[in-house]
Structure 1
Amino acid sequence: MSLASKATSRSYSMIITVAGLVALGALMPLSSIAWAADAGSPTPGGTEEAVRLDPVVVSAGRVEQRLRDVPANVTVITREEIRQSPARTVDDLLRQIPGFSLFRRSSSLVTHPTAQGVSLRGIGPSGVSRTLVLLDGVPLNDPFGGWVYWSKVPLESIERIEVARGGGSGVWGNYALGGVINIITRRPEARVAQAKLDVGTRDTVDADLLMSHVAGPWGVSLEGNYFDTDGYKIVKKSQRGDIDVQATSNHKTFNGRVEYTPSSASSLFLAGSFFREDRGNGTPLQENSTETGYMATGGRLRTADGSDWQLTLFSHLQTFDSTFASPAADRNSETPALNQFDVPSTDAGVNLQWSKRVLQSHLLTAGTDIRWIDGETNEFFTFNQTLQDFTRRRKAGGEQLLTGAYFQDIFTPAPGWQVTVAGRFDSWQSFDASRVERNKQTGAITRNNQFDDRDEFAFSPKVALLYQATDLLSLRSSFYKGFRAPTINELFRPFRVRNDITEGNADLDPERLIGGEVGMDYAIARNLFSRLTAFWNEVKDPVVNVTKGIGQGDVMEPCGFVPTGGVCRQRENLDRTRIRGIEAELEYRPHLNWTMLGSYLYSHTEILSAPNQPELEGKRIAQVPRHQFTLKLNYTNPALINVSVQGRWVGDQFEDDLNSLKLGDYFVVDLMVWRSIPLPKLSAGEVFLAVENLFDRTYEVAKTADGIITTGMPVLVHGGLRVRF
């Protein structure tokens, strides 16, 4: 039997096993519904109308507020919704929210890390994030490049995710142009041990073990996660050659947290994690790996005068390496093109925040934060066929210091009215930056750039108004400015996608945003809730990958040698872009067992002004679809079975700045089936079966200038068992 046949046989065996477990669970009497009760699922036979609970969120204003008191469009994904999703990573989970997108359409499981930057509302046409992603309030954006390692955070560890759309720079600062995504993890609980085993086709394994305990004022939690998949061939089937192999992915995560809470007025914590990832990127020569550690500590203190003080210190240590190759036209061979053998980065940061309610009508907040970043890229390039070795070596990088101070007043002048005024001062400094290239064989310097130190300042105000006209209707509006500093990666590191080359640019200026929105939240009936938001944003000096020319197998500035058919691009500031759109959401709960959710985003993007590249004016922003729509239907009945079906449609978009490479629209359906089952000596058990891309749709996620198309994930069947001890 061939290896492929064996792999197929193993995959089918796993599917049959999981399906059998689900069927067995459906036939077994339900002696315990502990899991469902813990998750807040309806009890069997319930006929009452569903009640929509109002969660407390912190992402919009850095202080706890009821969702209905937040003058912004905030979506909360609860722990129960996470458990009901077939997604295996945070980014796949968040795709149910229109407006959320990575630089590439594909899942982070098969996407190169440098293309995992996140955008909300279409703000951002490159791999860096224009949205701030937080893990328990600490920045998760990569310090070197701004992208996000989504696999760092196992889904089993998450309590909820808050997605606050709209400019959040007024209190959060750098990256928060399009909004804030705050991932909040589970706090330690008394005597809890939970395990999950999820297996599927393409030899996919996802295993997680989480344990926590609370004794007196002390709490501790530990989690280990292991994921491995053979992946799939990412190049379109009709274009594949001998070099096209599966894009594999393997990662391991360990998280730990210790809390000390001597009283309700004070607490301390220490948290840390270790993450290791190894990937194959679709051809034998192309792979990358990342190893990173994280540590955070801090505490909270409420003083006698009612002041609430919070202090957080954090640091990340990371190494990254990646290889790139140039494929032959027939894709039957490839040549090494770039070897980034060591890309180390380090950051350290601190945030001190004070908040206090004054005269019952003012909730005041003020704080300051600092983040220092050091990173560089060490790489070999220019491969010589005769020597069968690279001939040049490059080292480029530098340091950055981001310092900010912010204030906010949430003022309630009268019942039903709320005014929020916030402002933030940011300072960005870039220093000790250089780019040095040498002859690899002789060590002779061929290029030596010592870049000038730079500093920029920005003020980001925000004014928001919320009017609760009735218990069922709220009206909101806001105006804001935002700021994002270019990353070390954008300034100094080049990268490749097959034969397409993108150069860094040490002269990049920060991006600045001005925008506003108006919206309404309306409970049409007790079980029917709607939300509508219209927004407008303009970005000054947006960083875009600008096309410089098509390669003819010769040297082209600033990229150097560009293979025939390849593209030379460079990161540059355009003058101004505009993003306008509408977000609509509808939630209907006709019965305790049924929930229907629908959401839609219309985003009209345009390059308004590009004096250095006038041919771009009037073009759409690359990588941003104009339409996105999601429809989700849930049926929950612990006594019988639970089912969730989600359909997601994404409109067409352009791969490049010139709008010459179009990616078509697509529609995919995901399915999740689960049921609680009694297991001996366990407090709760559950079997589940999931199918992603149920109808096995083939859709485009990327396209190169020479016509090579990368496709999204084909159908994946996976499932398993989740237990609590």
Structure 2
Amino acid sequence: MPRPLRDVPATTVVIPREEMERSPTLTQDALVRTLPSASTFRRTPSLVADPTAQGLNLRGLAPSGVARGLVLLDGLPVNDPYGGWVFWRALPRLGLDRIEVVPTGGSALYGSAALGGVVQLISQPIGPVIDADVSVGNLGTGFVAARIADRWKRVGVSLEAEGLTSNGYRIVPEGQRGTIDGDTPSKHVTAQARVEVKATDALFLSTRAGYFRETQNGGTRYTAASVDLTWFTGSARLRTEDTGTFELGLYGRTQHFAQDRARVTPDRNFEVRSALQDVPANDQGGSLVWTGPELTLGGRHVLAAGVDARRSAGSAEELLFPSTVTPTSLYSRATRGTQLSGGVFVQDLYTVSPALELAGTLRWDAWRNLDGSLLESRANGTATATDFAPRTAGQLSPRLAARLRPVDGLTLRASVYRAFRAPTLNELYRPFQVGTVLTAANPDLGAERLWGTEAGVEAVGPRGLTGRVTGFWNVLDAPITNVTLATPLPDGTTRQRQNLGQARVRGVELGTDWRPARQWTLLAAYTFVDPVVTEAPGQPDLVGRQLPQDPRHRGSLSVTFDEPSLLTATAQLRVVGPQYEDDLNTRGMGGAAIVDLFVSRHLFWKVAAFAAVENLFDRAWLAGRAGVDTLAPPFQARVGLRLRDGLNERFSEAERGVPVH
């Protein structure tokens, strides 16, 4: 619901358009990771890592390749239908108005995918505008983006396109590098069109369609991946005086993800293709939400209720190239499945007084896995077919929250919630490989379940100084984790996805915003997370271990000087603490402190020149240790021109909207 940020009873962080414009980052995942409470599964960005390594992770909640947070674009989900991955580069930045991050259990409103929270991308309103960016940089980087929009009375149209190419970098450290190791080139193109129609004063219609194509190479000939994605969304919003607002949303998507895997000699001087994998998938879904008119009963109540449903289907078709061929060697594997899911929720926002607001939400979800099958073919011509029995499960997700403002400038928040995440088709049926490590699927996986609570205080002081402190405690039951097997499987697989007992994730977030003068803005944030395995039936060595890919410390500091007649400059410091690659905590990765810079200056008319640098001091630090060490991005710099010829200043703040929760 549209409301002032300070009134939202859950901790919410917003990256406004102005901060996006000044960010040195090039891709959306890198931008979101500047918030210490948000990260992706691996330290490598989408510039050099395919989407299976880019799952969203909020507050260190057991990171994995599958996102434990929901990503929305104008209210409709963009998480991949097969694996729960996020195709970050399919989300162009030029048309965005803001990004909202709610790093707390959100299943009570949004269902399965929102176990760890929600990231929502909000588009700019459609008005007369022509925007364009073009830049070039080292590492063979070239980027171009353009957006044009206009409005004719009740109809608005927006067209946006973006293209990026990069040679990447040598991702394997020099001491481990062999003759097969090269750069990590990638490129993508994405385009989308949006049409909005104000059919009547009460009825608003919107539709969007888009296309995305991405190709990547992981640094060797046979470590390549590609994505082809098309999607559409449609929505209708009807406002009535007596019965409230009704909003209908529909979406659909079809995609094809392909990946090559390699078998590499220990000296990394020779490789052969070990597998070819194609993963076609599609999904369709919709939601209907009602928000009632304000009621008066011991205070003010705003009731809301909604229902949504989704069908996801996909397959993983794999051609294998065994190192030694025998009559029983497995040479192809095909898995497929369908997941039907849906939920219904009710919510009451109860404003007892201007100082106190209570929010209660309750949601029921059900899902069914069906049509699951596995077909394995061997060199001797035999084939084994396995059909997996349909499975149905459900989950009740409550949430209670309170916001208290005893005096102006001081806000207290607290909430308790239950959330869950059903296993994806990818986790149920698709094996995968990172480096030299093979991980098997598991069709018997159950849902992850979370109990959590948070409490915080926000204070506003003189000269725009705002400080926030939030403590949180989450208990994750049966998290789906890549577990190291005591004995490898016959095909050499050393890990398998399993529901691993229980993990406790607790911590604290600190943040401050300060504008000491008109030209100066300071933003600082820090997140401490203590992610520990507390129960691991059958894996006693894991109890007390830190969750992998989960640093305890993350922080950021940025200072911006903005004087339009002179220049705009942002200096940013990102700090990431040490973490482990594996569940046994045997392969550690050190922390790093990275400095980024952005500078722009107006040239003429609506044109500005800019320069952006990431990892200014070329700090070398590890991103992964899965069989072979891999490096995070080195020094990256680019220069470019930016055109902003828009009339969006015509829109008032009310028309542009305020943060949505």
Q: Could you tell me the TM-score, scaled by structure 1's length?
A: 0.87
SS in 1 for 2:433: strand
- Aligned CA RMSD, in angstroms, stands at 1.4
Whether 1:580 aligns to 2:506 is: yes
Letter in 1 for 2:405: Q
Instruction: Work out the CA distance in 2 between the residues paired with 1:323 and 1:443.
Output: 24
Corresponding position of 2:291: 355
SS in 2 for 1:720: strand
Quote how far apart the aligned CAs of 1:421 are.
0.3
Corresponding position of 1:66: 4
Quote how far apart the aligned CAs of 1:165 are.
1.3
SS in 1 for 2:209: strand
Instruction: Work out the CA distance in 1 between the residues paired with 2:248 and 2:423.
Output: 27
SS in 2 for 1:156: coil
Asked if 1 retains the 8 angstrom alpha-carbon contact of 2:463 and 2:514, the reply is no
Corresponding position of 2:306: 367
Instruction: Work out the CA distance in 1 between the residues paired with 2:352 and 2:496.
Output: 51
Count of matched residue positions in the alignment of Structure 1 and Structure 2: 640
Corresponding position of 2:653: none
CA deviations over 1:87-130 (Å, ceiling 9, x no partner): 11111011111121111011111112211101101112321111
Corresponding position of 1:134: 72
Whether 1:346 aligns to 2:272 is: no
Corresponding position of 1:57: none
Asked if 2 retains the 8 angstrom alpha-carbon contact of 1:584 and 1:601, the reply is yes
Instruction: Work out the CA distance in 2 between the residues paired with 1:394 and 1:471.
Output: 63
CA deviations over 1:492-514 (Å, ceiling 9, x no partner): 10011121100000000000100
SS in 1 for 2:30: helix
SS in 2 for 1:151: helix
Give the 3 Å change call, closer, same or farther, for CA 584–724 of structure 1 in structure 2. closer
Asked if 1 retains the 8 angstrom alpha-carbon contact of 2:477 and 2:503, the reply is yes
SS in 2 for 1:344: strand
Corresponding position of 1:716: 636
Whether 1:689 aligns to 2:626 is: no
SS in 1 for 2:322: strand
Instruction: Work out the CA distance in 1 between the residues paired with 2:188 and 2:486.
Output: 38
Corresponding position of 1:520: 457
Corresponding position of 1:326: 263
CA deviations over 1:328-386 (Å, ceiling 9, x no partner): 1111111211210x211010001000001332501111000001000110011143567
SS in 2 for 1:65: coil
Which of 616, 621, 624 is 1:699 aligned to? 621
Which of 85, 89, 110 is 2:27 aligned to? 89
Instruction: Work out the CA distance in 1 between the residues paired with 2:94 and 2:85.
Output: 22
Counterpart mapping for 1:298-697 below 5 A: 298-340=235-277, 342-360=278-296, 361-384=300-323, 392-439=331-378, 443-445=381-383, 447-549=384-486, 556-557=488-489, 560-562=490-492, 568-679=494-605, 684-697=606-619
SS in 1 for 2:109: coil
Asked if 2 retains the 8 angstrom alpha-carbon contact of 1:493 and 1:504, the reply is yes
Instruction: Work out the CA distance in 2 between the residues paired with 1:455 and 1:143.
Output: 18
Instruction: Work out the CA distance in 2 between the residues paired with 1:438 and 1:611.
Output: 34
Asked if 2 retains the 8 angstrom alpha-carbon contact of 1:574 and 1:612, the reply is no
Asked if 1 retains the 8 angstrom alpha-carbon contact of 2:56 and 2:63, the reply is no
Letter in 1 for 2:157: V
Instruction: Work out the CA distance in 1 between the residues paired with 2:439 and 2:552.
Output: 25
Instruction: Work out the CA distance in 2 between the residues paired with 1:501 and 1:442.
Output: 24
Quote how far apart the aligned CAs of 1:285 are.
1.3
Asked if 1 retains the 8 angstrom alpha-carbon contact of 2:33 and 2:40, the reply is no
Corresponding position of 1:51: none
Quote how far apart the aligned CAs of 1:724 are.
3.5
CA deviations over 1:634-681 (Å, ceiling 9, x no partner): 0011111111000011000111111111010111000000012214xx
Quote how far apart the aligned CAs of 1:241 are.
0.8
The answer to which of 378-387 and 237-246 deviates more is: 378-387
Corresponding position of 1:118: 56
Instruction: Work out the CA distance in 1 between the residues paired with 2:463 and 2:284.
Output: 47
Whether 1:177 aligns to 2:115 is: yes
Asked if 2 retains the 8 angstrom alpha-carbon contact of 1:384 and 1:391, the reply is no
Letter in 1 for 2:622: E
The answer to which of 530-539 and 120-129 deviates more is: 120-129
Instruction: Work out the CA distance in 2 between the residues paired with 1:256 and 1:443.
Output: 49
CA deviations over 1:5-59 (Å, ceiling 9, x no partner): xxxxxxxxxxxxxxxxxxxxxxxxxxxxxxxxxxxxxxxxxxxxxxxxxxxxxxx
CA deviations over 1:456-489 (Å, ceiling 9, x no partner): 1100000001101111100010000001000000
Letter in 2 for 1:692: E
Asked if 1 retains the 8 angstrom alpha-carbon contact of 2:57 and 2:116, the reply is yes
SS in 1 for 2:122: strand
SS in 2 for 1:486: coil
Which of 93, 112, 131 is 1:155 aligned to? 93
SS in 2 for 1:155: coil
Quote how far apart the aligned CAs of 1:247 are.
0.7
Asked if 1 retains the 8 angstrom alpha-carbon contact of 2:475 and 2:504, the reply is yes
Letter in 1 for 2:616: L
Quote how far apart the aligned CAs of 1:442 are.
5.8
Which of 131, 147, 153 is 1:216 aligned to? 153
SS in 1 for 2:427: helix
Instruction: Work out the CA distance in 2 between the residues paired with 1:304 and 1:255.
Output: 34
Identity %: 39
Instruction: Work out the CA distance in 1 between the residues paired with 2:34 and 2:104.
Output: 18
Corresponding position of 1:48: none
Instruction: Work out the CA distance in 2 between the residues paired with 1:471 and 1:699.
Output: 45
Letter in 2 for 1:150: W
Q: Which runs of 5+ in 2 are unaligned?
A: 646-661
SS in 2 for 1:373: strand
CA deviations over 1:545-585 (Å, ceiling 9, x no partner): 000148xxxxx32xx333xxxx7100000111110000000
Asked if 1 retains the 8 angstrom alpha-carbon contact of 2:556 and 2:575, the reply is yes
Quote how far apart the aligned CAs of 1:194 are.
1.6
CA deviations over 1:374-431 (Å, ceiling 9, x no partner): 01100111435679xx961111020001110001000011221000000110001100
Letter in 1 for 2:523: L
Asked if 2 retains the 8 angstrom alpha-carbon contact of 1:424 and 1:461, the reply is yes
Q: Could you tell me the TM-score, scaled by structure 2's length?
A: 0.95
Which of 271, 274, 278 is 2:215 aligned to? 278
The answer to which of 641-650 and 254-263 deviates more is: 254-263
Corresponding position of 2:650: none
Instruction: Work out the CA distance in 2 between the residues paired with 1:385 and 1:517.
Output: 54
CA deviations over 1:290-330 (Å, ceiling 9, x no partner): 10100011210011315100000000100111001021111
